[in-house]
Amino acid sequence: MKKEKEGKNMRTKNLSKHQNFTFAASKWFKTTLFISAALMITGCSAVNAKSDPSVLKNAKSSDQEIEVHVLDVGQGLGIVAISGDDVLMYDGGDRDYSSYVVSWLRKNGISEIDQMIVSHYDADHLNGLVGALNTMTTDVVYAPDYACDTRVCNSFHNEIVEQNIELIHPKPKDTFEFKEATVTFLSPQNHSYSENNDYSLAIRIELGDSSLLISGDAEYDSEQEMVSTFGNKLKSDVYVAGHHGSSSSSSAAFLDAVDPESVIISCGKDNSYGHPHMETVKAFEDRNLDIYRTDQQGEITFTMTEDTITFKEQTAPDPYALGSKSIYQNQSGNTSQSTGNHHQEHQQDHHDEVHHNQTTNNSQPAAADYILNTNSHKIHVPNCKSVSKMKEKNKQAVNDSIESLKNQGYSPCQNCLKGY
């Protein structure tokens, strides 16, 4: 992440060779004196500092993790990934959030974007990127290759030309390095889609054993092509739901191939499209995915390392206070209504069910109250389907109360412990 740089004294460009030597020697001498004095004050030596393995490890560790922010940009998508001092930006939300996105970048000390990815040219994905191009230095932009003649699309291309920014139209299987991670383009795979959404640049970010898949607004046709081309190589730990959770994306075959543990839905609260669609959320629930939503929880942040993915503790939505568009509607479209007593009854019934399951499920130790996913920081009952999908290294059987576990930074699974 590159921060605003102080203005440098450029007089050294006009120095003679002798002056350059004198200037450099003087600068070296002063720097040496300063460092020596600092080391004497702290009681350290240059030899010890260089030989201390923890110093070298800590210096490198920032490049070996990625901090991912799925911004709260209403009915749109905007993602910023930071690794060391490098910044990758994928989409930027709509016009109403363009100033917010620029403000967010500045607040986080970002003045340069190393890689910018435009999923496609819809306004709710592109506007914020144009704002960033106007105010930030951008090294390279990846964008799909299809015709577009909207106001924001023209503004985008004008910025690219005026700033002479490298513009690349990637093909599936093209890759680039993002610090220690590899970013692979998955789509689009042809140039004759009936829907512009299918031109979306889908990407997969892989860092060691951790992975993230973002598909923009790609719909069924593009998803089917990705499945045909990549198969189980689409497997990813975290999936940013296509098209804001619309039923036109996240097809069964695609979800089978991606097989995520967590899904993030970026959409606006009470949006006119009804995103996320109920059937899509049900598909996620049926797969026992950990579901995160920007319309309910705001910005979603998580950190990827080579072997873990850790979500920042989010404010869990109350399933009894989500209103008529609740994802917990029943088949007739009625939303579960609650009073305090109903909520307590639901929890007691579920508590009894949990302990019944514990005594009848032989796959886990009888003494285990709950199974923790130490990677996603979720609490599950022992027979939750998500437990069977966990990596063994992420499983931890515990005897503790949910409240105690929540105080330790864990949150209940929204499938097997819905209502807690």
Q: For residue range 316-338, list pLDDT tens digits in order.
A: 543 433 332 333 333 333 333 33
User: For residue 3, is pLDDT > 50?
Assistant: no
The residue type found at 288 is: N
CA 389, chain centre distance (Å): 21
User: For residue 152, is pLDDT > 60?
Assistant: yes
Please give the residue that has the higher pLDDT: either 384 or 120: 120
- Cβ atoms 351, 383 nearer than 8 A: no
Domain boundaries, the chain: 66-311, 368-420
Residue 373's nearest CA partner among 387, 383, 363, 355 is 387
Q: What is the pLDDT of residue 77?
A: 98
What's the Cα-to-Cα distance from 23 to each of 7, 13, 199, rounded to whole Å?
A: 19, 12, 55
pLDDT digits 0-9 by tens, 336-361: 333 333 333 334 444 444 443 433 34
The mean per-residue pLDDT over the stretch 111-119 comes to 97
Residue 129's nearest CA partner among 94, 161, 83 is 94
The mean per-residue pLDDT over the stretch 226-245 comes to 98
Q: What is the pLDDT of residue 367?
A: 62
Question: Looking at 80-84, 112-116, 339-343, 415-419, which range is the least confident one?
Answer: 339-343
Predicted TM-score of the model (pTM): 0.65
Residue 15's nearest CA partner among 5, 25, 4, 6 is 25
Q: State both tokens at 340.
A: 């305090």
Q: What is the pLDDT of residue 408?
A: 83
User: For residue 267, is pLDDT > 60?
Assistant: yes
Q: What is the pLDDT of residue 355?
A: 41
Question: Looking at 261-275, 346-360, 400-414, which range is the least confident one?
Answer: 346-360
Q: What is the pLDDT of residue 114?
A: 96
What percentage of the chain reaches a pLDDT higher than 70?
72
The mean per-residue pLDDT over the stretch 109-137 comes to 96
**Relative orientation angle of helices 98-107 and 123-135, to the nearest 10 degrees:** 50
What's the Cα-to-Cα distance from 112 to each of 71, 127, 160, 219, 232, rounded to whole Å?
A: 18, 18, 15, 32, 35
Q: Is the peptide bond before 382 cis (omega within 30 degrees of 0)?
A: no
CATH dotted code for 66-311: 3.60.15.10
Distance CA 38, CA 17 (A): 31
User: For residue 41, is pLDDT > 60?
Assistant: no
Please give the residue that has the higher pLDDT: either 292 or 3: 292
Q: What is the pLDDT of residue 314?
A: 66
Question: Looking at 2-6, 167-171, 208-212, 232-236, which range is the least confident one?
Answer: 2-6
* Phi-psi category of residue 147: left, alpha or beta, with phi > 0 → left and psi -120 to 50 → alpha: beta
Computed over every residue of the chain, the mean pLDDT equals: 78
Q: Is the peptide bond before 188 cis (omega within 30 degrees of 0)?
A: yes
Q: What is the pLDDT of residue 17?
A: 35
CA triple 198-203-205, angle to 5 deg:
165
Residue 353's nearest CA partner among 325, 381, 386 is 381
Helix ranges, 150-230 (H): 151-162, 220-230
First to last CA, the chain: 38
The mean per-residue pLDDT over the stretch 158-187 comes to 97
Question: Looking at 42-46, 186-190, 239-243, which range is the least confident one?
Answer: 42-46
Q: What is the pLDDT of residue 322?
A: 34
